[in-house]
Amino acid sequence: MEIKTNEIGNLLRSQIKNIDSDVDVNEVGEVLEVGDGVARTSGLGSVMSSELVEFPNGVFGMALNLEEENVGAVLFGDSSLVKEGDTVKRTGKVAEVPVGKELLGRVVNPLGQPVDGKGPINAKETLPIERKALGVMSRFPVKEPLQTGLKAIDSMIPIGRGQRELIIGDRQTGKSAIAADTIINQKSSHDSDSPVYCIYVAVGQKASTVAKLVAELESNGAMEYTTIVVANASDPAPLQYIAPYSGCAMGEYYRDNGMHSLIVYDDLSKQAVAYRQMSLVLRRPPGREAFPGDVFYLHSRLLERASKLSEDLNSGSLTALPIIETQEGDVSAYIPTNVISITDGQIYLDTNLFNGGVRPAVDVGLSVSRVGGSAQVKAMKKIAGKLRLDLAQFRELEAFAKFASDLDEATALQITRGRRMVEILKQNQYVPMSVAKQVVIIYAASKGYLDDIDLDQVKDFETGLIEHFQSKHSDSLDEIHETGDIGENLEKKMDSAIEEFKKTF
């Protein structure tokens, strides 16, 4: 074997020359001042709006204010780790989060990093947190129901897949409970061919509240198809600000891949407050209630991303349930009016109803679903068509009856039935009900089968009737479930089954 020793040196030298020296090349700037979760930096001449920038000690930030002299960046980490004169690097990336089914069952922060101690998330894909909402041609009208499992909502304020339905009410009126029940109720969808994946975005809440919710979802088997995005009250305002966008990007993954997803923003009032804090520190001019001028856009661009896609785009959907907390029932405050005008309806929860034992405390008069009607199951539509009106009339008559000593028969009947209707619409927390069972009990009430049942017996009657149907007339429940409709025959079968049960009650 011939070895050309004189060439070895040259070969080695040329190889050494070609070694990639692995030099980090970054566009950098210098921190001019830092405080209140915001850093002002010089340099970074080519930084993009919303681009992630890296500070020392692993602290990341997002460039928001691109000014002539400096760049204002919000910090996602501990601002005490950043000091004047530090170098800040561009990353060239806008803020993005991991997406995909790898996130199911996990609790993550708004940057997509796990906070549940279950190890790293090996997601294969990422999506930018800020994305433009889809245009008109990519969308399709809302036509499939999204069952919440709550009788009061599914019957009178139906929600469709791709809809944005606001849940609004004072503190302690059961807003989060409705969202949690809706998530738990999606479990049944995972036995069908169109499962709904859920994302719960907790903004500015106590960590203990979120931990309680996670435990509840776990015990109900709902975490398997749910991701929790959490920015606690103790997290910096910028994290609370981006949390809904991060969650939305995670939900969009399912939508864009022909699947269905549900996202709960709990709550957007706190996100608006975090945004106000950030904006004031960034020296943006304050407007009404000290919110910046673009606070409407803050929510509109987020909620516009919820949509039902056209068949060409595989018919996926992202349903949004934003939550807004009102102060003393004031729905005409700045943020509530903004979000009411953006969404496709609202579920208004009333403190007096809640305290009066009506739970969920849905105020039927003020609640509305603007597009969900077309997505409602036919059977429910048939029996609940008059429910809303009947209840409204009942409320009016009930108030009137307080002043009248004797009432005519028709009025008395309406009040009797109304009271029973209200009773059957009450529902315990974490006990969502299938649509077939809802149809059976509402059918019984609207047909007057409960009129002669004592008010305090109505709950027992309901439980017994459902058990009776499950044990002896499960075919009727199956038929409602499969066809989603009540034909004449089924109606007769249901009548006889209810009468049969009533005899034994």
Residues recognised as catalytic: 370
Residue 26 interacting with another protein (CB under 8 A): yes
Residue 110 interacting with another protein (CB under 8 A): no
- Cα→Cα distances 87→34, 41, 51, 56, 74, Å: 12, 9, 16, 7, 15
- Do 41 and 73 form a contact (C-beta atoms < 8 A)? yes
Q: From CA 341, how far away is CA 206, in angstroms rounded?
A: 29
Q: From CA 322, how far away is CA 333, in angstroms rounded?
A: 16
Residue 89 interacting with another protein (CB under 8 A): yes
Identified binder of another protein from the candidate list 7, 24, 406, 408, rule CB under 8 A: 24
Q: From CA 407, how far away is CA 214, in angstroms rounded?
A: 50
- Do 156 and 389 form a contact (C-beta atoms < 8 A)? no
Tokens 């049944």 locate to 188
Residue 22 interacting with another protein (CB under 8 A): yes
Residue 286 interacting with another protein (CB under 8 A): no
Residue 398 interacting with another protein (CB under 8 A): no
Residue 21 interacting with another protein (CB under 8 A): yes
β pairing state of 60-66 and 71-75: antiparallel
Identified binder of another protein from the candidate list 10, 49, 80, 113, rule CB under 8 A: 113
CB of 387 to another protein, least distance (A): 51
Applying CB under 8 A, which part among 42-50, 134-142, 313-321, 338-346 lies near another protein? Answer: 42-50
Identified binder of another protein from the candidate list 25, 137, 399, 410, rule CB under 8 A: 25
**Which strand (E) or helix (H) includes residue 472?**
helix 458-472
Cβ distance to another protein smaller for residue 3 or 19: 19
Residue 504 interacting with another protein (CB under 8 A): no
Cβ distance to another protein smaller for residue 87 or 374: 87
- For residue 225, the one-letter residue type is Y
CB of 103 to another protein, least distance (A): 13
Residue 87 interacting with another protein (CB under 8 A): yes
Side-by-side strand order, sheet with 71-75? 38-43, 71-75, 60-66, 51-54, 87-94
Cβ distance to another protein smaller for residue 10 or 26: 26
CB of 24 to another protein, least distance (A): 4
- Do 253 and 199 form a contact (C-beta atoms < 8 A)? no
**Phi, psi angles (nearest 5°) of residue 295:** -70, -25
Identified binder of another protein from the candidate list 31, 44, 159, 498, rule CB under 8 A: 44
Q: From CA 18, how far away is CA 15, in angstroms rounded?
A: 5
Question: Total residues contacting another protein (rule CB under 8 A)?
Answer: 19
SS3 188: helix
Residue 117 interacting with another protein (CB under 8 A): no
Using CB under 8 A, list all residues that contact another protein: 21-29, 43-45, 58, 60, 87, 89, 113, 120-121
